[in-house]
Amino acid sequence: MLIKRRRGWELPESAATPEATYLNRRDLLKAAGLGAIAVAGGAIGAPGAFAQGPEVDPTASLYPFKQNMRYRLDRPLTPEKDATTYNNFYEFGTHKGIAPAAQALKLRPWTVRFEGMVETPMTVGFDELVKQMPMEERLYRFRCVEAWSMAVPWSGFPMKAMIEFARPLSSAKYVVMQTFMDPKVAPGQRQSWYPWPYTDGLTIEEATNELAFMATGIYGKPLPKQNGAPLRFVTPWKYGFKQVKSIVRVEFTDKRPVGYWEKLQSSEYGFWANVNPQVSHPRWSQATERVLGSDERVPTQLFNGYADFVAGLYKGLEKERLYA
Ligand code: MTE
Q: Is 260 in the pocket of ligand 1 (CB under 6 A)?
A: no
Q: Distances in Å between the alpha carbon of 180 and those of 13, 21, 132, 185, 231?
A: 38, 34, 22, 10, 11
Q: Is 240 in the pocket of ligand 1 (CB under 6 A)?
A: yes
Residue ID of nearest Cα to ligand 1 atom 13:
241
Alpha carbon distance 246, 105 (integer Å): 9
Q: What are the pLDDT digits (tens) for 137-184? A: 999 999 999 999 999 999 999 999 999 999 999 999 999 999 999 999
User: Are the beta carbons of 140 and 69 closer than 8 angstroms?
Assistant: no
Q: Which of 80, 241, 275 most suits a substitution to test ligand 1, by most atoms within 8 Å of the C-beta?
A: 241
Q: What are the pLDDT digits (tens) for 272-308? A: 999 999 999 999 999 999 999 998 999 999 999 999 9
User: Are the beta carbons of 305 and 9 closer than 8 angstroms?
Assistant: yes
Query: For the domain 58-314, what is the CATH code?
Result: 3.90.420.10
pLDDT tier at 33 (50, 70, 90 boundaries)? very low
Q: How many CA atoms lie within 13 A of 92 on its CB side?
A: 27
- pTM, full prediction: 0.87
Length of the chain as a residue count: 324
The ranges assigned to domains in the chain are 58-314
Contacts of 90 by beta carbon, 8 Å cutoff, 6+ apart: 188, 194, 198
pLDDT tier at 254 (50, 70, 90 boundaries)? very high
